[in-house]
Chain A
Amino acid sequence: MIKFSRYTLVFIGIIVASISIPSLYWTIFEKVPKSVQVYYSCTIDDFVLVDGQNRVDTKGNSYTNDEYERLLPFLFFRQLIADGEMPDSIKGVLVEPSAIGRASSFFRYIPRKIHAPQPALYPMLESQSGKVNLTMPDDYFRINKRIEFIDSKTNKINEEKSSLFTAAMADKGFVFPAAIIAGIPSNRKSCDEGYFITDDQGSLFQVKMVKGQPFVVKVDMPEKLDIVYIEAVDVRSKEFYCYVFTRNQGVYLLMEDVYELQRLPVDGFDPETMTFRMNSDLFNKCITVGGDNWYKAIAIDDMYDVVATTEDKWEGLYERTDGKVFAALFPFEIRTNIDDSAFVNFYFKLSPGFWWVIVNVISVFAFIFVLRKRGWEIKSNIIDVIVVALTGIFGLIAVLFFPNKFAKR
């Protein structure tokens, strides 16, 4: 029992050491990773890559700040109008500020969005109240065996409304409970489109409230899609309702009114590890998918056909000096927070390569030296030796902080 309690402490010591020492290392030595913003310029029909103060196109021409603003007239139209530099028409199309504003949208997806706590309840707004402003309702809904509306004033379920919506959803083939519920739970939007909900079988539905009555649409899918994330948006162009991310089956837009899923040309997109951006303007949409040390940009026209692509790759974390030194010193690290998740957890990360073996061997010799000095036998401390061999510096600290006095006699 006492031995067991010591190993518990050694284990806790290893956890604490492998969290705090690497965290200290990164705080001191981590270098700022490269990050590139990609835009598509309609004036030169090429990508503009922005990395800090560096602005270049794919042919290697670099631009000053003023030139850069002229390359992206839709992004900087206010500045260009102020400077008197805004063209009246581009590619023969008359460009007005209102049209530019309507066509512009920006969206960003990061893996953290699918690994985040979800709210327990959602408000269902009235989408056609006849009033100019949307108002927040007094009740909130949840979807388990049925959809239930809970009145916040009384904290009781509104049975009548719950039955009405449950029946309407079941009628369209909704299989309870829901898997993903996505909407814009706010009245600060141009109009209300309710919620985009996947059911227990993965089918996609839109559910909203029109004049107090349920309005349910089942979306036809071209094939069975394994949807992992939906984000409803309020784009001023009224082109689409939401972004739909699937597990390795592509990214889609759910087109407004027609309820068709428009596939975006980003094959092989993995929502667990990759980021996704989409900048839209009057002529093009520029999609950038990326990871830690690479990106691929795709420009598409308003018919969703690819007009240009570019990509780049640079040194990854463990190819840089700070990462190489880390991987040589420590066999692994535990992180409690990572960029890809909003949950606290013990994220175990094994160091690549085998340089850390050397430090582990040194740790073992250091430990044996201490044992010798104290006059303890190696044989009776063999488990400690193995722990140090496997966990390196972390294990060495843990076994020295919690000494093995039982083996002394």
Chain B
Amino acid sequence: MFKAIIYKEWIKIRLVVYASLVLGLLALINIFLNVRHDILFVDAANYWYAFLFRGVIYFGILKFLPFIMGGGIAIAQYFPETVSKRIKLTFHLPYRENTLLIRMHAFGAGMLAAIYAVIILLFIGGSAIFFPSGIIIDSLLTLAPWFLGGLATYFLVALILMEPMWLYRAFYAIVSAGFVTLFYKIDSIGGYKHLLAFLALLTLLLSCVVLFSGYRFRKGEM
């Protein structure tokens, strides 16, 4: 039966997943066509210099993509469930309600993580053509908070959508907006180096918060 549930989740989010992959690929193609073009015109030495000493990042276009993807998948997955409270049907299945919700949630988060992994791996591969390891590592340190922020967005949008009361939806949205902003504070290269581990831990903790509003939903909080 879990297979069927996963299939149901896949039907809900597949369009967004495809769209995210296409969007990600287009962004990467754009990035590396630009890098190639600029290196031809200004020389690799000057292009490296701009990154190393002027803080010019060649992958700025990636900044809000993870955020959009995280929010998009969460909406595609949870919004239909809240329309006329369809998720109640799922909760009537002969399984523990929490287990079901966790599986659903893990599938969505797993798909999102897989999209991110594809984008990041292709980004590393493309960067390796033009740049040495030092620049690639610093680039990854710079975009890591953006991708973590995307995951946090997924978890928090799910929390907001599953919440049955509008007042508390607003409260969650205020806290979520404040929290997600923390991942996008500055663009300086390596500027998040010391906070990354803690942000990753907080994001990991957030992975289960949908259970909280899910519980309130089940208990018929109105």
Interface residues, chain A, CB within 8 Å of chain B?
A: 1-2, 4-6, 8-9, 11-13, 15-17, 19-20, 117, 119-123, 136-140, 142, 150, 152-153, 155, 185-186, 336-337, 342-346, 398, 401-403, 405-406
Contacts and interface: CB of A to CB of B under 8 A. Distances in A.
Contacts of A344: 185-186, 191-192, 194-195
Nearest to B171: A401
Given A1-B98, A336-B182, A152 B43 contact: yes
Nearest to B141: A117
Given A136-B46, A155-B131, A343 B191 contact: yes
B206 interface: yes
Interface of B: 43-49, 52-53, 98, 129-132, 134-135, 137-138, 159, 168, 171-172, 174-175, 178-179, 182, 185-186, 188-195, 198, 202, 205-206, 208-212, 215-216, 219, 221
B195 A346 contact: yes
A333 to B, nearest CB: 14
Contacts of B137: 120
Nearest to B195: A345
Contact of B190 (A2, A16, A117, A136): A117
A19 B178 contact: yes
17 contacts: A8-B208, A8-B209, A9-B159, A12-B179, A12-B202, A20-B178, A117-B193, A120-B138, A121-B135, A138-B43, A138-B45, A140-B132, A152-B43, A153-B43, A153-B44, A343-B195, A344-B191
A140 B51 CA distance: 12
A8 B49 contact: no
A19 B45 CA distance: 41
Contacts of A153: 43-45
Contact of A140 (B48, B138, B179): B48
B52 A140 contact: yes
A338 to B, nearest CB: 12
Contacts of B44: 138, 152-153, 155
Contacts of B185: 336-337, 344
A15 B212 contact: no
A343 B171 contact: no
Contacts of B129: 155
A16 to B, nearest CB: 4
Contacts of B189: 117
Contacts of A137: 45
A120 B208 CA distance: 38
The 3 closest A-B pairs by CB, nearest first: A120-B134, A117-B190, A16-B178
A19 B183 CA distance: 13
Nearest to A16: B178
B52 A9 contact: no
A7 to B, nearest CB: 9
Contacts of B186: 337, 344
